[in-house]
Structure 1
């Protein structure tokens, strides 16, 4: 391969890679912020470090291999730096090819980059649906159902500022403008819109721009009361929690309001369909893990002794647990995003680390990490072959994946659930209720525990806790205080059973003296 045929699209301006493989690997090491390929011999070690003592402190794995082999190679693969004898290592060309494939969103062949640059910016109507996987229907009939305009649509009117010709195009533009800042919001919106589409399909209604107010009120009634089905035909809408019902109606109301405000609809049949933000004011977290049970999970991880082959896996699992436990992040906030370069670790001073994440609405948030979390992360980084402390502006996934560069949301979820399941197995015989609670828990329960520790246990000021948790409203943060009655009980006890006030003492004295 010729590295010069590849373009670094993140450069300003975009630039081709150096022409030789060695120079291209050096460029990637600087661009990605970590070593990617190094060939070591004893002679090179001495030139680099001056003495074997310094080399042993800086490169213990390399020096150990050089004592038994003529040469050793360090190379980057699947999120970690591997060290092997030179005769077992892949070639520099292979390492370069793998890295370019892993970072294919950034490094692209010059030919394809030119084609993409010459491509028209306008999206054809047929391509709008394909651009959003959740809208790809499974049959021609469903596709035809979606690409229509109903009685309230005005696709060709001068007031239609969207310029959409049917519901499919109008849905894409809605998701782009209202939810496009976060893929997780797009997925959540897609789930609720798909629920409405299934309900319409079961009643042979639609398209969406054809639904009347009475039909949308009937959909709300179905959400609130559920709908029975059969084994052959499960119900499009089953029994839902209050939070899910509120979210479903809010998404539908937002869609129709957006269509009406932009002129795609000449009427809004969903006006007043949702209760708006009142449900959030009544938010009360209920999925809480008792502190003693969390301590049991911590103790299990500390006592876990895997074999040497699974040591890196164990260190990764401990790091995942520590970040959810001591940073209170949402599940997706630990998933690496090449677009934002987050999450990212920074070490401002020894032992003073900060985790930077991208929260809801693509808002960046800084979370100071406590000492127990830093110690676990340092051990995990060393196991990956990285420096113990993250260097400045390190562009590297915090959690690596065994099959790719980074572990995404599904893998992070499985790791935390595996910890809960292992601890639950140990508690099953003597404390079955606690084991059942752990089996139902998810990573978001650790976020609730983090918030409760801040607000209830340590009475952190609500604005500070709100900033750490990334809540849009301080009312959400304050809700954690309402879940604990111990403080209120202490205030009541102190008020009514404390020392008598002065006027009470005077009254008792007069009563005692017969006055």
Structure 2
């Protein structure tokens, strides 16, 4: 490995990618103070190689790989530049100091923070980028509490794995508590639309469809995407990856039952249900496009969400789908604002909505409106734990509110008598 003395982030302009990162020999971790004495189970004689080994077992999803690499890259650079230590020499105090560092990192810290997107290959790159959020009133910190906790989780997970591989003796992040925040943002069970809101959304999307308009097929697709997302609860990348070949039909005495094979997080395969009504929507959508409704005759690699550009890839990218839905929510927001009797609660929701809200709406609809068992919903959504799924269940909150309200009604009756 090529080595070079690192004294400043600026010296890393052309050597910041993990494949090119230059670490001084004395800080490479080959003789780290936290190196395990047992035989190492991975082929790594320095910290950079060890981190790459961990990334390699987490790299099935390119987006996840990139996010993990960014966190480890930041931490490794901080250890070398700010602490003057190898990754494998850091103790708990060092790791706590890193968490404090990223919590307090200010936008004007030109040594570590860039206010504009920069390309690593072109110089002037910084490990952190500050982008002011229109939704947040906090303009003093670079990272949100959620981002700080994410960094804590990722680095700790890496260290845990390296301990298990006999590369490290102990996880220096073990015991460092997650940061707390009195956030005024919406909770997960608020970042969703009710069944009534979903119907209003679909009605509006349907009203935009005009067979004589240039964007006729685009608006047809928007309505189909909204139905697809709400009827399955798929994540953004799962929606764009879905093909007709992933549809599976099971025959029984009650007729066909349809499922969709989905590769979710950590390359985990699951089968999510396709409601009979949505199968009818697929057929109707194909007819509107001038195609045969016989979905069993469609080529297996044909994406369910089609591209409208002949020269483009047949599948949309997650970013393209995100933009389609974001543009729709913006348009719906303008429409709601112009209503004679605006629904301010719905307007506020639509203003903040994203594609993931449709997934939350699906989970809430099944849990609260349909009383579907949480274990079923967990499997449909591809959650690893039922505790994750339980965030959609607000039945206990409703019962609590009803009980309190009833208590005040009874109190009023006693006073009146």
- Per the normalisation by structure 1, the TM-score is 0.59
Matched, 1:145 2:13: no
Which residue number in structure 1 is paired with residue 333 of structure 2?
A: 424
1:360 to 262, 265, 271: 265
Task: Name the CA distance, whole Å, in 2 between partners of 1:285 and 1:138.
Answer: 43
Residues 373 and 388 (structure 1), Cα distance of their counterparts in 2 relative to 1, 3 Å cut: same
Task: Name the CA distance, whole Å, in 1 between partners of 2:66 and 2:218.
Answer: 30
Which residue number in structure 1 is paired with residue 9 of structure 2?
A: none
Q: How far does the alpha carbon of each residue in 1:430-450 deviate from its partner, in whole angstroms, 9 at most, with x for none?
A: 436643431321111111111
Matched, 1:331 2:236: yes
Which residue number in structure 1 is paired with residue 304 of structure 2?
A: 398
Matched, 1:302 2:169: no
Matched, 1:270 2:182: no
Task: Name the CA distance, whole Å, in 2 between partners of 1:293 and 1:201.
Answer: 52
User: Where does 1:63-78 land on structure 2 (aligned, <5 Å)?
Assistant: none
Residue 496 of structure 1 and its aligned partner are, at CA, apart by 9.8
Contact 1:455/1:465 (<8 A) preserved: yes
* Residue aligned with 1:485, SS: helix
Residue 233 of structure 1 and its aligned partner are, at CA, apart by 5.2
Matched, 1:209 2:209: no
Task: Name the CA distance, whole Å, in 2 between partners of 1:470 and 1:222.
Answer: 35
Task: Name the CA distance, whole Å, in 2 between partners of 1:211 and 1:342.
Answer: 50
Residues 138 and 295 (structure 1), Cα distance of their counterparts in 2 relative to 1, 3 Å cut: farther
Bigger radius of gyration among the two: 1
Q: How far does the alpha carbon of each residue in 1:55-101 deviate from its partner, in whole angstroms, 9 at most, with x for none?
A: xxxxxxxxxxxxxxxxxxxxxxxxxxxxxxxxxxxxxxxxxxxxxxx
2:50 to 165, 170, 191: 170
Residues 193 and 231 (structure 1), Cα distance of their counterparts in 2 relative to 1, 3 Å cut: closer
Q: How far does the alpha carbon of each residue in 1:358-397 deviate from its partner, in whole angstroms, 9 at most, with x for none?
A: 1222222222223443333223334556531321782322
Task: Name the CA distance, whole Å, in 2 between partners of 1:263 and 1:342.
Answer: 45
Which residue number in structure 1 is paired with residue 108 of structure 2?
A: 230
Deviating more after overlay: 415-424 vs 474-483: 474-483
Residue 355 of structure 1 and its aligned partner are, at CA, apart by 2.3
Which residue number in structure 2 is paired with residue 83 of structure 1?
A: none
Residue 219 of structure 1 and its aligned partner are, at CA, apart by 1.5
Task: Name the CA distance, whole Å, in 2 between partners of 1:378 and 1:146.
Answer: 61
Structure 2: which 5+ runs fail to align?
A: 3-11, 114-127, 130-140, 180-186, 411-417
Residue 267 of structure 1 and its aligned partner are, at CA, apart by 4.5
Residues 436 and 146 (structure 1), Cα distance of their counterparts in 2 relative to 1, 3 Å cut: farther
Task: Name the CA distance, whole Å, in 2 between partners of 1:321 and 1:288.
Answer: 13
User: Where does 1:251-262 land on structure 2 (aligned, <5 Å)?
Assistant: 251-262=154-165
Matched, 1:373 2:278: yes
Residues 140 and 222 (structure 1), Cα distance of their counterparts in 2 relative to 1, 3 Å cut: closer
Q: How far does the alpha carbon of each residue in 1:258-296 deviate from its partner, in whole angstroms, 9 at most, with x for none?
A: 2222132345433333569xxxxxx95442234443332
Matched, 1:190 2:99: no
Which residue number in structure 2 is paired with residue 410 of structure 1?
A: 319
Task: Name the CA distance, whole Å, in 2 between partners of 1:260 and 1:320.
Answer: 44
Which residue number in structure 1 is paired with residue 149 of structure 2?
A: 246
Q: How far does the alpha carbon of each residue in 1:104-139 deviate from its partner, in whole angstroms, 9 at most, with x for none?
A: xxxxxxxxxxxxxxxxxxxxx79xxxxxxxxxx852
* Residue aligned with 1:152, SS: coil
Contact 1:351/1:374 (<8 A) preserved: no
Task: Name the CA distance, whole Å, in 2 between partners of 1:385 and 1:198.
Answer: 56
Q: How far does the alpha carbon of each residue in 1:216-262 deviate from its partner, in whole angstroms, 9 at most, with x for none?
A: 01122345x43224174565494544443332211111111222221
Task: Name the CA distance, whole Å, in 2 between partners of 1:496 and 1:194.
Answer: 57
Residue 301 of structure 1 and its aligned partner are, at CA, apart by 1.1
Task: Name the CA distance, whole Å, in 2 between partners of 1:184 and 1:199.
Answer: 23
* Residue aligned with 1:180, SS: coil
Q: How far does the alpha carbon of each residue in 1:441-463 deviate from its partner, in whole angstroms, 9 at most, with x for none?
A: 11111111111111112211111
User: Where does 1:95-114 land on structure 2 (aligned, <5 Å)?
Assistant: none
Residue 193 of structure 1 and its aligned partner are, at CA, apart by 2.3
* Residue aligned with 1:355, SS: strand
- Per the normalisation by structure 2, the TM-score is 0.72
Structure 1: which 5+ runs fail to align?
A: 1-124, 127-136, 277-282, 499-515
Residue 319 of structure 1 and its aligned partner are, at CA, apart by 1.9
Contact 1:333/1:343 (<8 A) preserved: no
Which residue number in structure 1 is paired with residue 414 of structure 2?
A: none
Contact 2:34/2:170 (<8 A) preserved: no
Q: Number of aligned residue pairs: give it.
A: 353
Residues 347 and 317 (structure 1), Cα distance of their counterparts in 2 relative to 1, 3 Å cut: farther
Which residue number in structure 2 is paired with residue 78 of structure 1?
A: none
1:481 to 393, 408, 417: 393
* Residue aligned with 1:335, SS: helix
User: Where does 1:431-446 land on structure 2 (aligned, <5 Å)?
Assistant: 431=342, 434-446=346-358
